[in-house]
Structure formats: structure tokens, C-alpha cells
């Protein structure tokens, strides 16, 4: 049994004062109101909150998953992002050939079979994307889906979570339903779809929108586009938001959150290998990218993923958008857990939930991270 005394506890729903959280193995067993720590060697923290969940992580610590789609790369990425409060993530493979997709699939399946802490599943970002909205993706890797080949890359859903970002106008009718029938979570992104096409994709089972505003048709007066569909609330969908101040203007973030509601907005990083490293220039899918002023770009200025971590995303959401700390913390934990349908295990500090938590100081900077009851970062 291990215990942590929190001067302030955000349990995923509300703030509580002076609480002792006790956990055994990978589960929380009790939360008690106590005026003081029960023993002198107990961890005492300013703020204890549910650990962050990131559904869009390309790399970290000098490692890009596309470059090294291996078990050791996954371990490295989890280790790096733990220092920023991330306790569970979806390693993300940017559009690549089927050989690399297969290697990534095998590595993630092995990680899931070994119950590797911090790995939830696999996110294929592409390759079924629209070249018109390709962003930094290599156009020669974008293609139509081949269900025969693809079927061999979907059984990750038997072990963990599977997420596929696609452009609905680039796939045949019925393809989204086919993916959903294989337990894939479909997200719309890198798309030139009309509003009507995006809404039809949602009605077919698409559940999310990848990095809202970026690489998708904008909201205009006579064509609401993918952004307009994303901000609809009739059907429950979740929007990934890169809150770094570069991908989305703070005013646009405020407008989107006001329209969609915090309950269906989730913070994502889209982090590449620069996060947790000192590199300023690095190779990226056959290109060179530069890191400067909190962003990473190709030589022509195209954003190449991000240099964002989840703790910074939380702080930015509080200070750039004016949302409450509770709302920002939920957007980093409970909302992505709901999107992935794992909110019975993650996103709250409650009895029998996973002991995956983050200790923060009063400036919302990470002091310590626990993943499944074990210290993943901090002392």
C-alpha cells in the first residue's frame, strides 16, 4: 500500500481539500479526508489530479515512432512524456507504407500483450488522407485503403485501442462503418470534405476530429466545412485541440470551446521527437525540420507536428483561453478517456480507478507522475 497526501485534490469532477489517496498495485483503494499526512515519509503534494491522456503522440526524446516503430521506442516515448504528466498515450504513426505500418502494429501489439504501462493502443494518422490537406504528410504515401492488407493491421483492437484518422471524401462508401465494425475509433482529419460529407461520416460512426482547425476545410459563411461539422453538438464527437498558441489562435480556441463545450474538447500534443530533447534540427520523414519559439517547422514553414507537452497544454488552456483549471484538467484526462471509452479506469481519482496520477505545484507544473501505481517521473 502506498499513500499520497494532497493539499488540493482534483478527483476528475470536483476540488477537495486535504485528502490522502491510497493505492495498491495499479488501483486506487481509498480517498480519505485527513487534516495532516498520516506519516512523515508520505508524499505531500500541492495538487493531485488524474494523469493526462494523449491520443496523438508521434514521438519524444529524439525518437519518432515512424523512424523506429519498435518496442524500445514505445518505452522511450512513454518515459519522456511521463515527465509532463502523461500517464497513457496513443502512439501515432504518420502516413507511411504498409511495411512500416505493420512494424508499428506488431510493436504496439507486443506492448499491449506485455501490459506495458502507458500504452493504450495505436493511432494510424493516415494514409487515407486528402493530398490537398496533407500538411507535412508525404503525398506519395497517401492512398486509397486496401481492406485486404488493412485487415491484418487492425487486430490491435483485440488487445487495446485502435484509432484511425482519415479524410471521409477519400474512402469508399461503407468504409467508415467497416472500420467501426473492427472496433476502430474513426477521427476525421487532413480532409477537404464539405460540411455534408463530414456530417455523413459522423452518422457513419466517426467519433472525433483530429487537430481541430488544422488540415481541414474551415468554417465560412456559406460552407461550414469540416470545422463546422466538428463544432456541432447533435451527435457526441470529440475534437482534439493543440493548445500551443501556434496551431490555433487563442481566440479561435475560445470560440471553439464555447461552441462545442469543454465536455467534448480534448487536449492533444501531436508531439514529435523534439519534446523532451535538446535538438534544434532533426530529420522528419525525409525532410529536415527546425525547432524554434515553441514550434517545429519544415524549411518552407509548414508545421511538422508540435513541440508541445500536455502540462504546457493545460497551462495554455487556463491562461490563453480563460477556462478554469478544472476544465483544463478534464480536457487533458477525463475527456480523452471518454473519447476512448476508458473513463471507467482513467480520468478520475476514485476507488478502483487506475493509480495513474500527476502531482502539480500551484503553477500547474509537474512534480511527480505515477503510472499504474509506480513512479514514472519525479522523486
Domains 2-48+353-377 and 52-340 share a fold: no
Which pLDDT does position 31 carry in this prediction?
97
Query: What does the alpha-carbon distance between residue 248 and residue 245 come to, in Å, rounded to a whole number?
Result: 6
| pLDDT tens track, the chain, 379 positions | 999 999 999 999 999 999 999 999 999 999 999 988 878 789 999 999 999 999 999 999 999 999 999 999 999 999 999 999 999 999 999 999 999 999 999 999 999 999 999 999 999 999 999 999 999 999 999 999 999 999 999 989 999 999 999 999 999 999 999 999 999 999 999 999 999 999 999 999 999 999 999 999 999 999 999 999 999 999 999 999 999 999 999 999 999 999 999 999 999 999 999 999 999 999 999 999 999 999 999 999 999 999 999 999 999 999 999 999 999 999 999 999 999 999 999 999 999 999 999 999 999 999 999 999 999 999 7
pLDDT at 250: 97
Contact 313, 84 (CB under 8 A): no
Q: In the prediction, which pLDDT does 133 show?
A: 98
Residue 53's H or E segment, with its range, is strand 52-57
Tell me the angle at which helices 310-321 and 325-332 cross, rounded to the nearest 10 degrees.
150
Question: Distance (Å, rounded) from C-alpha 52 to C-alpha 64?
Answer: 20
Dump the DSSP string for 55-115.
EEE-EETTEETTT--SHHHHHHHHHHHHTTTEEEEEEEEES--HHHHHHHHHHHHHHHHTT
Of the candidates 330, 356, 326, 340, the residue with the CA atom closest to the CA atom of residue 28? 356
d(CA 360, CA 325): 12
pLDDT at 278: 95
| Residue 4, helix vs strand vs coil | strand
pLDDT at 37: 86
This prediction's pTM: 0.98
CA-CA distance, 84 to 369, in Å (whole number)? 8
Q: Look at the chain and count its residues.
A: 379
Pick the CATH number of 2-48+353-377 from 1.10.645.10, 2.30.40.10, 1.10.10.520, 3.20.10.10: 2.30.40.10
Domain boundaries, the chain: 2-48+353-377, 52-340
Active centre residues (catalytic): 270
Chain centroid offset of residue 17 CA: 29
| Confidence (pLDDT) at 36 | 85
Architecture of the domain delimited by 52-340: Alpha-Beta Barrel (3.20)
Q: Residue 140: CB partners within 8 Å, gap ≥ 6?
A: none
Q: Which H or E element spans position 251?
A: helix 250-260
Residues 6+ apart with CB under 8 A from 345: 337, 353, 354
> What is the rounded CA–CA span in Å between residue 110 and residue 160?
11
Supply the pLDDT for residue 41: 81
Amino acid at each position: 500500500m502506498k499513500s499520497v497526501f494532497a493539499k488540493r485534490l482534483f478527483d476528475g469532477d470536483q476540488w477537495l481539500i486535504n485528502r490522502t489517496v491510497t493505492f495498491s498495485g495499479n488501483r486506487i483503494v481509498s480517498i480519505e479526508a485527513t487534516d495532516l499526512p498520516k506519516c512523515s515519509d508520505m508524499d505531500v503534494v500541492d495538487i493531485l489530479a488524474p494523469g493526462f491522456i494523449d491520443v496523438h503522440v508521434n514521438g519524444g526524446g529524439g525518437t519518432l515512432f515512424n523512424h523506429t516503430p519498435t518496442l524500445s521506442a514505445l518505452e522511450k516515448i512513454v518515459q519522456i512524456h511521463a515527465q509532463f504528466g502523461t500517464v497513457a498515450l496513443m502512439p501515432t504513426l504518420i502516413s507511411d507504407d504498409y511495411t512500416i505500418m505493420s512494424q508499428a502494429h506488431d510493436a504496439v501489439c507486443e506492448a499491449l500483450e506485455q501490459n506495458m504501462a502507458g500504452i493504450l493502443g495505436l493511432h494510424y494518422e493516415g494514409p487515407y488522407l486528402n493530398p490537398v490537406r496533407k500538411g507535412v504528410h508525404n503525398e506519395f504515401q497517401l492512398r486509397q485503403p486496401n481492406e485486404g492488407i488493412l485487415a491484418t493491421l487492425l487486430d490491435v483492437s483485440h488487445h487495446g485501442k485502435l484509432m484511425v484518422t482519415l479524410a471521409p471524401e477519400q474512402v469508399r462508401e461503407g468504409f467508415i462503418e467497416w472500420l467501426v465494425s473492427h472496433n476502430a475509433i474513426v477521427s476525421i482529419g487532413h480532409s477537404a470534405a464539405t460540411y455534408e460529407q463530414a456530417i455523413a461520416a459522423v452518422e457513419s460512426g466517426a467519433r472525433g476530429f483530429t487537430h481541430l482547425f488544422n488540415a481541414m476545410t474551415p468554417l465560412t459563411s456559406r460552407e461550414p466545412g469540416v470545422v463546422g461539422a466538428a463544432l456541432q453538438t447533435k451527435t457526441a464527437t470529440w475534437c482534439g485541440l493543440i493548445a500551443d498558441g501556434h496551431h490555433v489562435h487563442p481566440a479561435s480556441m475560445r470560440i471553439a470551446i464555447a461552441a462545442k463545450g469543454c465536455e467534448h474538447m480534448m487536449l492533444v500534443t501531436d508531439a514529435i521527437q523534439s519534446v523532451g530533447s535538446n535538438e534544434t534540427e532533426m530529420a522528419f520523414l525525409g525532410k529536415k525540420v527546425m525547432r524554434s519559439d515553441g514550434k517545429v517547422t519544415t524549411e518552407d514553414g509548414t508545421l511538422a507536428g508540435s513541440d508541445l507537452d500536455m502540462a504546457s497544454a493545460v497551462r495554455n488552456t487556463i491562461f490563453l483561453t480563460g477556462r478554469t483549471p478544472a476544465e483544463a484538467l478534464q480536457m487533458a484526462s477525463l475527456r480523452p478517456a471518454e473519447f476512448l471509452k476508458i473513463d471507467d479506469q482513467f480520468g478520475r481519482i476514485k476507488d478502483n480507478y487506475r493509480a495513474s496520477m500527476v502531482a502539480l505545484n500551484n503553477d500547474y507544473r509537474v512534480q511527480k507522475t505515477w503510472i499504474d501505481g509506480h513512479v514514472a517521473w519525479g522523486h
